[in-house]
Amino acid sequence: MSSAFVPKRPVVTAYPRMPEAFAQGEAIASYLKGKGLEAPCGSLYDEELRRRVKTGDFDMLVVVGGDGSVLRAGHLCAPSRVPILGVNMGRLGFLIQVDRREWREYLEKLFSGEAWIENRMMLHADHVRAGDSLGSWNALNEVVVGRGQNLRPVRLSASVDGRLLTSYVADGLIASTATGSTAGALAAGGPILPPELRNILLVPIAPHLSVDRAVVLAEGSSVGLAVHSENAVISIDGQSPIPLMEDDRVDVHAAEVTAQFVRFGDPGYFYRNLTAHMNENSIGLPR
């Protein structure tokens, strides 16, 4: 756990398709101005605000929305090392510690020196065709190579540090961070990893007569995902899929940039948050 974090140059952003998020964002910005801080407030997709984040004008970004908004904020903020404070307006909020009804309480803690910075590994993915890179991305949750609109499974093989691990016939294969272990990887039957781990998790989606177990790779591993069928796509953190061709490869390893989050209390918050979400799905179980 790092030392106390108190921001001096915050910015407030909101998910643009959620009017109530903007109302909360304006209220948060007003609160911060009451603390003597000039805090601009705007859309998470506002180009001028994004430019200022990238050039280091701010030392904290508040994002009001759901987990998807936090993922977009992670992509924006990681290269310039701007910590993110999420305020949850969505449903699950695995990435978010602060609920919409509690932000005043948590901001008081922030300015009392009770916050700390949590670092979370991101993945870097390269799309390679015949030795040429056609695109590269950073992912906070996961890189998914899977079938497109075609219903047939895809044929893939996974290599670790240049050595063949195994082949898959499946709907897809997830290469996930610890952060992503509570997202698509969890839905596909993978384990939950503590957020501070820097391991890569490989989880097949609906495997057909092939390895059906998740594999946790050692910290520092590099993964090569080779495509052996024509109907595959790649998706980064749930963004729009990009078509792949047979014999394409997706290389995945730990990114050089790290997503930073403003946290409160001890690191055990992760398990309390997790338990709360799991209890929401419990029906008729004894307490």
State residue 274's pLDDT score. 75
Question: Quick check: is 4 in a domain?
Answer: no
Q: Which domain holds residue 15?
A: 10-114+265-280
Q: What is the CATH number of the domain that holds 107?
A: 3.40.50.10330
User: 89 and 180 share a domain?
Assistant: no
State residue 2's pLDDT score. 55
- Is the model's pLDDT at 233 over the cut of 90? yes
Question: Quick check: is 105 in a domain?
Answer: yes
- Is the model's pLDDT at 92 over the cut of 80? no
State residue 237's pLDDT score. 95
State residue 284's pLDDT score. 45
State residue 276's pLDDT score. 73
User: 48 and 70 share a domain?
Assistant: yes
Q: What pLDDT, in 10s, does the model give residues 173-183?
A: 999 999 999 88
The model's confidence at residue 40, banded by pLDDT at 50, 70 and 90, is: very high
State residue 46's pLDDT score. 96
User: 110 and 126 share a domain?
Assistant: no
Q: What pLDDT, in 10s, does the model give residues 1-14?
A: 556 899 999 999 99
State residue 119's pLDDT score. 96
- Is the model's pLDDT at 285 over the cut of 70? no
User: 181 and 108 share a domain?
Assistant: no
User: 35 and 132 share a domain?
Assistant: no
pLDDT more than 90, % of the chain: 76
User: 71 and 194 share a domain?
Assistant: no
pLDDT more than 70, % of the chain: 94
User: 107 and 217 share a domain?
Assistant: no
Q: What is the CATH number of the domain that holds 163?
A: 2.60.200.30
User: 208 and 140 share a domain?
Assistant: yes
Question: What is the rounded distance in angstroms from the CA atom of residue 237 to the CA atom of residue 73?
Answer: 12
Total domains, the chain: 2
Q: What is the mean pLDDT of the chain?
A: 91
How many CB atoms lie under 10 A from the CB of residue 111?
13
State residue 287's pLDDT score. 36
**pTM, rounded to two decimals:** 0.90
Question: Quick check: is 286 in a domain?
Answer: no
Catalytic choice (67, 171, 237, 251): 67
Segment 136-158 mean pLDDT: 94
State residue 286's pLDDT score. 42
Q: Please confirm, yes or no, whether 67 is among the known catalytic residues.
A: yes
State residue 280's pLDDT score. 62
Which own/partner contact pairs does 199-202 have at CB distance under 8 Å and 24+ positions apart? 200/123, 200/175, 200/176, 200/252, 200/253, 200/254, 201/174, 201/175, 201/176, 201/177, 202/158, 202/165, 202/173, 202/174, 202/175, 202/176
State residue 138's pLDDT score. 97
- Is the model's pLDDT at 172 over the cut of 60? yes
